[in-house]
């Protein structure tokens, strides 16, 4: 018996995941046309810009490599600055992808199918950007392989009690798991591409990378099981990776860092920043690739609601930090907290709160959730705010810790900024390449949720 969807008030209506007529075939035609087509001029323009930015960034990295870390602003006592801020920022951006693909799969939410592929790709690219920083921020980048515990003639092992080593394992596991998850999801789509492409080098690559997938039901069975298991494992990974990153700070005794709320606080912030980035990119994708009927206003609406929820959780975390800073009766923590909101970097503290807690409150309004200007403004604010938040946590806590004789104002250099923007260049270059070469929507997953796709059995629904 069908539910009377027509009589439901608008607030209770089921989500509109498709607009207009969509069939299995039209889905393939719409999404899989892009890997076969030459991209428009706008793509080349964008690519030129991001590629230049990326090259500039890598040049700055090369310069740092040659001259040493002294060309950055890092100095006593602010020994960690842009390097770690950027690392944490990019790892955080990656988390939204895993949440969308993995956690939402566990909840069997259907709206994830249109955006999971792109979000996962963004995760991988973000983690690649993040991984650059641990490698380049050491004094001798050519021996960063010492971070891995391998048998060596020095008779040494890495210090497993250090969160920096936990990071090495966490981020590399995160990268490999995300890559596996993303690639497995791509296999059926690559098979579709293989079968649509008549000949040529592209067909060769699709053939090889689709592994001979043929859509056998006995294969789908194991595939689905593996996918679900991977989703469960990746969920645990989302929680743990950014928690391990937060441990970099929270296990120390620096005032303002040794707060027990850091693990869930960082995870929340990561999801928050990641969703903002996903929203920004998806707005561009759905417009330029004409995918508005598949990535609907509902998708953007629900993602904005998640951003709003995360913003409220961030507000809670800030409240907790502030309250505990007072409650602790610890003069050093008091001082640092005052530095967060006044002092040389007080502007950063206030800007962070505005961007992360105040501006996203605009998303309570349905109109703003569904308007490009509104959501882009909020997402941009969130991205800036989350970067600034890491800046505040790291730089402010370090620049005036226990010993006043060590206090020093930190000033970033051109090289710092150059590398940061370079990683944005890298990220968006990879995003553009991805959109050019691979299907940005997982067609096999979309087909599952098309109306009429699943045979009715005993009137069951899957929501």
Query: Is-contact 385 64, C-beta < 8 A?
Result: no
Residue 21 — φ and ψ, nearest 5°?
Answer: -75, 130
| Residues 314-373, interacting with other proteins (CB under 8 A) | 316, 320-321, 323-324, 327-330
Q: Is 20 in the site for other proteins (CB under 8 A)?
A: no
Instruction: Identify which of residues 158 and 371 has a Cβ nearer to other proteins in the complex.
Output: 158
**Residue 437 Cβ, how far from other proteins at the closest point, in Å?**
18
3-state secondary structure of 428: helix
Instruction: Identify which of residues 42 and 198 has a Cβ nearer to other proteins in the complex.
Output: 198
Q: Is 177 in the site for other proteins (CB under 8 A)?
A: yes
Q: Is 157 in the site for other proteins (CB under 8 A)?
A: yes
Tell me the C-alpha to C-alpha distance, in Å, between residue 250 and each of 259, 362, 424.
6, 32, 27
Instruction: Identify which of residues 180 and 280 has a Cβ nearer to other proteins in the complex.
Output: 180
| Residues 99-128, interacting with other proteins (CB under 8 A) | 106, 108
Q: Is 19 in the site for other proteins (CB under 8 A)?
A: no
Q: Is 166 in the site for other proteins (CB under 8 A)?
A: yes
Q: Is 312 in the site for other proteins (CB under 8 A)?
A: yes
Hey, CA dihedral for 449, 455, 456, 457, is it positive or negative?
negative
Chosen residue from 20, 21, 200, 460 binding other proteins by CB under 8 A:
460
Q: Is 182 in the site for other proteins (CB under 8 A)?
A: no
Among 169-177, 273-281, 291-299, 392-400, which window interacts with other proteins (CB under 8 A)? Answer: 169-177
d(CA 151, CA 155) in angstroms, rounded, equals 7
Chosen residue from 48, 164, 414, 448 binding other proteins by CB under 8 A:
448
| Residues 187-226, interacting with other proteins (CB under 8 A) | 188, 191-192, 194-196, 207-208, 211-226
Q: Is 23 in the site for other proteins (CB under 8 A)?
A: yes
Q: Is 169 in the site for other proteins (CB under 8 A)?
A: yes
Chosen residue from 76, 176, 344, 406 binding other proteins by CB under 8 A:
176
**Residue 212 Cβ, how far from other proteins at the closest point, in Å?**
5
Query: Is-contact 131 171, C-beta < 8 A?
Result: yes
Helix axes of 297-327 and 331-341: crossing angle, nearest 10 degrees: 140
Hey, what's the torsion of the CAs at 17, 21, 26, 27, to 10 degrees? 0
d(CA 406, CA 325) in angstroms, rounded, equals 22
**Residue 300 Cβ, how far from other proteins at the closest point, in Å?**
17
Query: Is-contact 105 227, C-beta < 8 A?
Result: yes
| Residues 56-75, interacting with other proteins (CB under 8 A) | 65-68
| Residues 126-145, interacting with other proteins (CB under 8 A) | 140, 142
| Residues 229-288, interacting with other proteins (CB under 8 A) | 229-230, 233-237, 239-240, 243-244, 247, 250-253, 258-264
Residues in the chain: 463
Hey, CA dihedral for 83, 89, 95, 96, is it positive or negative?
negative
Query: Is-contact 445 13, C-beta < 8 A?
Result: no
Chosen residue from 170, 186, 279, 291 binding other proteins by CB under 8 A:
170
Cis amide linkage into residue 91, ω under 30° from 0: no
Tell me the C-alpha to C-alpha distance, in Å, between residue 323 and each of 318, 327, 412.
8, 6, 31
- Burial of 144 by CB count in 10 Å (0-12 exposed, 13-18 middle, 19+ buried)? middle
- Using CB under 8 A as the binding criterion, the count of chain residues that bind other proteins stands at 116
**Residue 288 Cβ, how far from other proteins at the closest point, in Å?**
25
């Amino acid at each position: 018996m069908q539910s009377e969807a027509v009589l439901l008030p608008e607030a209770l209506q089921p989500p509109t995941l498709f607009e207009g007529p969509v069939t299995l075939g039209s889905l393939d035609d719409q999404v899989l046309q892009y890997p076969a087509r030459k991209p428009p001029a706008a793509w080349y323009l964008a690519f030129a810009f991001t590629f230049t930015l990326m090259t500039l960034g890598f040049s700055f990295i090369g310069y740092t490599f040659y001259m040493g870390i002294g060309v950055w602003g890092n100095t006593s006592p602010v020994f960690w600055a842009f390097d770690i801020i950027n690392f944490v920022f990019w790892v955080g951006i990656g988390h939204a992808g895993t949440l969308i693909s993995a956690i939402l799969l566990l909840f069997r939410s259907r709206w994830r199918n249109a955006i999971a592929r792109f979000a996962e790709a963004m995760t991988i690219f973000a983690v690649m950007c993040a991984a650059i920083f641990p490698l380049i921020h050491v004094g001798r980048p050519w021996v960063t392989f010492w971070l891995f515990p391998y048998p060596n003639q020095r008779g040494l092992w890495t210090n497993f009690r250090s969160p920096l080593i936990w990071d090495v394992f966490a981020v590399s596991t995160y990268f490999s798991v995300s890559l596996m998850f993303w690639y497995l999801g791509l296999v059926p789509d690559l098979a579709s591409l293989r079968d649509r492409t008549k000949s040529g080098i592209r067909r060769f690559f699709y053939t090889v990378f689709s592994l001979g997938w043929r859509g056998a039901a006995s294969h789908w069975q194991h595939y689905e099981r593996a996918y679900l298991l991977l989703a469960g494992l990746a969920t645990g990974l989302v929680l743990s990776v950014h928690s391990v990153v937060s441990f970099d700070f929270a296990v120390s005794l620096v005032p303002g860092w040794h707060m027990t709320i850091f693990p869930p606080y960082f995870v929340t912030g990561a999801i928050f920043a990641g969703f903002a980035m996903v929203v920004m990119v998806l707005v561009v994708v759905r417009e330029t690739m004409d995918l508005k009927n598949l990535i609907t206003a509902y998708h953007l609406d629900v993602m904005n609601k998640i951003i709003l929820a995360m913003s409220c959780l961030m507000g809670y975390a800030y409240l907790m930090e502030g309250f505990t800073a007072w409650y602790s009766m610890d003069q050093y923590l008091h001082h640092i907290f005052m530095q967060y909101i006044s002092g040389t970097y007080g502007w950063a503290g206030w800007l962070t709160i505005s961007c992360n807690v105040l501006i996203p409150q605009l998303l309570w309004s349905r109109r703003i959730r569904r308007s490009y200007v509104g959501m882009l403004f909020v997402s941009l604010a969130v991205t800036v705010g989350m970067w600034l938040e890491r800046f505040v946590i790291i730089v402010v806590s370090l620049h005036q810790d226990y010993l006043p004789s060590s206090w020093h104002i930190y000033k970033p250099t051109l090289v710092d900024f150059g590398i940061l923007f370079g990683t944005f260049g890298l990220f968006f270059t990879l995003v553009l390449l991805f959109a050019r070469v691979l299907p940005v929507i997982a067609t096999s997953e979309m087909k599952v949720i098309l109306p009429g796709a699943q045979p009715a059995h005993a009137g069951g629904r899957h929501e």
